[in-house]
């Protein structure tokens, strides 16, 4: 079959991204304009800043993606864009741009669900490495600041189907990492620094229990739901437990000092953080991360067994966490379950995953009508053809 070149565009949250991917298996370019620096003073993503930054970034990012790939607007076969879920204003920037470009070039436009993109990021990299032997069904844990979802993915002919078999009941795992980092005076985004500090503390020092979810309310759903046990997550409780620990152990003054000192350092490195963290803080950070990792791994592997998954994908920003990767690798091996992660650049939001997820839709000629719109809370459909 002839090669297919798809230009993907992603603007659902922090990052403006554009990428060209060949036939869902080779990244020709992958450009991400990160807005984290812009957001840092506010301790999070702010929607207006997000949209404004996307507006500023989108044209240069797309141009660079085309140039890096050695492609022209005429040589790409189709455009793909994130339709949702995400921030409405941010989504709209990528979507409007992609629509206009597709219209001007008279090329088909493919709408992609952001969560589907994260799943295809893993597949894309495996194919790029020459691994075409991924067995189905695939259980995918999508774990980031806004999501903690388990999807059972099946490939039937050209089309993919996704069954959501679990999600967080309250906070996403990445949100818990970020809120804990913020309340410890470690700044935003918190996941990476907590990961790096954790290896310097004793993970057994503080006992944290993550909430175990009972699922009585899941009965009487659709028939297909009843075939598979639900596996939900809950990370609000552990966040509160860290807050309580901080309050009851007189850590407030040290935290305020840390926050102020870090604010005065332009690009703090690991040594700066370590110098500002006493042993009690490092132990707390390590113990928090250990509890998060153990819960994510245990629940995901239990779900994999229950739904007889043949392969496990762990994807999304939190999938870059080193301890999470190590634990998944060792424990999946014991279970005889192959586990795959995206590389760090493909873990976080990027457009290559959007172009890759669009490829099966290209094969199925599943094109978006010109009047489709952004959907901030777009679900990943049970069946997506």
Of the listed pieces 86-94, 155-163, 333-341, 350-358, which binds other proteins according to CB under 8 A?
Answer: 86-94
154 beta partners = 161
**The binder of other proteins chosen from 26, 34, 43, 307 (CB under 8 A):** 43
The 10 Å Cβ neighbour count of residue 118 is 33
What are the backbone angles phi and psi of residue 189, rounded to the nearest 5°? Answer: -80, 145
Bridge partners of residue 315, in order along the sequence = 142
Q: Binding residue for other proteins (CB under 8 A) from 44, 192, 268, 345?
A: 44
Listed ranges 15-23, 135-143, 175-183, 364-372: which one lies at the site for other proteins (CB under 8 A): 175-183
Burial of 9 (0-12, 13-18, 19+ CB in 10 A): buried
Lay out the site mask for other proteins across 8-37 (x = CB under 8 A, - = otherwise): -----x------------------------
- Per CB under 8 A, the segment of 57-65, 165-173, 284-292, 302-310 that binds other proteins is 165-173
User: Which tokens in the block code for residue 228?
Assistant: 């598979």
CB contact at 8 A, 210 and 235 = yes
CB of 368 to other proteins, least distance (A): 22
- CB of 33 vs other proteins, minimal distance in Å: 19
> What single DSSP character describes residue 80?
E
| Binding footprint of other proteins, residue count (CB under 8 A) | 37
| Per CB under 8 A, 163 contacts other proteins | no
| Cβ-based nearer residue to other proteins, 116 or 171 | 171
Residue selected from 105, 134, 183, 298 as contacting other proteins according to rule CB under 8 A: 183
Site for other proteins in 228-257 (CB under 8 A): 232, 236-237, 239-240, 243-244
Give the tokens for residue 248: 């009851």
- 329 phi-psi bin (left φ>0, alpha ψ -120 to 50, beta other): alpha
Residue in 9, 87, 92, 286 binding other proteins, rule: CB under 8 A: 87
* Identified binder of other proteins from the candidate list 82, 113, 128, 168, rule CB under 8 A: 168
The residue within the footprint of other proteins, chosen from 56, 200, 218, 325 (CB under 8 A), is 218
Q: What are the structure tokens assigned to 74, written together?
A: 């005429």
Residue 50: name the closest of 31, 64, 37 by CA.
Answer: 37
Nearer residue to other proteins within complex by CB, 114 or 258: 114
Burial annotation 26-49 (CB, 10 A radius, 16+ → b, else e): ebbbbbbbebeebbeeeeebbeee
The stretch among 44-52, 285-293, 297-305, 331-339 that binds other proteins (CB under 8 A) is 44-52
Angle, CA 41 vertex, CA 350 and CA 244 arms, to 5°: 95
Specify the DSSP class assigned to residue 42: G
The token pair at 173 is 């795992």
Radius of gyration in angstroms for the set of CA atoms belonging to the chain, rounded to a whole number? 21
Q: Site for other proteins (CB under 8 A): which residue of 172, 184, 186, 303?
A: 172
Give the closest residue to 21 by CA, choosing from 73, 71, 96: 71
Lookup: tokens for 230: 């639900």
Q: Confirm or reject binding of residue 202 to other proteins (CB under 8 A).
A: no
Rounded to a whole number of angstroms, the minimum distance from the CB of residue 45 to other proteins is: 7
Q: Is residue 85 within the footprint of other proteins (CB under 8 A)?
A: yes
Q: Residues in the site for other proteins, rule: CB under 8 A?
A: 13, 42-49, 51, 85-87, 89, 145-146, 167-172, 174-175, 179, 183, 217-218, 232, 236-237, 239-240, 243-244, 376-377
């Amino acid at each position: 079959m002839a090669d297919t070149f798809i230009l993907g565009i992603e603007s659902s949250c922090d990052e403006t991204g554009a990428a060209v991917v060949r036939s869902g298996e080779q990244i020709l370019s992958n450009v991400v304009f990160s807005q984290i620096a812009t957001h840092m003073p506010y301790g999070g993503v702010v929607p207006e800043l997000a949209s404004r930054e996307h507006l500023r970034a989108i044209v240069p990012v797309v141009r660079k993606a085309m140039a890096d790939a050695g492609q022209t607007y005429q040589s790409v076969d189709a455009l793909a864009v994130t339709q949702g879920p995400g921030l409405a204003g941010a989504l709209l920037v990528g979507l409007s741009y992609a629509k206009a470009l597709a219209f001007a070039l008279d090329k088909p436009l493919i709408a992609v669900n952001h969560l589907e993109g994260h799943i295809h990021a893993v597949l894309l990299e495996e194919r790029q490495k020459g691994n075409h032997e991924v067995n189905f069904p695939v259980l995918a844990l999508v774990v980031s600041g806004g999501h903690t979802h388990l999807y059972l993915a099946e490939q039937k002919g050209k089309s993919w189907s996704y069954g959501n078999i679990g999600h967080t009941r309250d906070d996403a795992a990445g949100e818990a990492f970020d809120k804990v980092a913020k309340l410890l005076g470690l700044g935003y985004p918190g996941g990476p620094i907590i990961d790096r500090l954790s290896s310097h503390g004793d993970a057994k020092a503080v006992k944290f229990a993550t909430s175990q979810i009972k699922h009585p309310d899941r009965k009487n759903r659709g028939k297909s739901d009843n075939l598979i046990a639900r596996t939900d997550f809950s990370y609000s409780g552990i966040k509160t437990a860290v807050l309580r620990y901080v309050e009851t152990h007189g850590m407030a003054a040290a935290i305020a000092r840390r926050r102020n000192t870090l604010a005065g350092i332009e690009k703090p490195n690991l040594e700066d953080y370590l110098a500002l963290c006493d042993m009690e803080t490092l132990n707390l950070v390590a113990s928090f991360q250990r509890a998060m990792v153990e819960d994510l791994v245990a629940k995901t592997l239990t779900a994999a067994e229950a739904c007889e998954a043949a392969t496990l994908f762990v994807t999304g920003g939190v999938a870059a966490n080193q301890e999470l990767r190590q634990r998944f690798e060792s424990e999946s091996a014991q279970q005889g379950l192959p586990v795959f992660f995206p590389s760090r650049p493909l873990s976080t939001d990027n457009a290559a995953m959007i172009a890759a997820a669009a490829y099966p839709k290209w094969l199925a000629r599943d094109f978006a009508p010109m009047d489709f719109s952004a959907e901030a809370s777009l679900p990943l459909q049970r069946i997506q053809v």
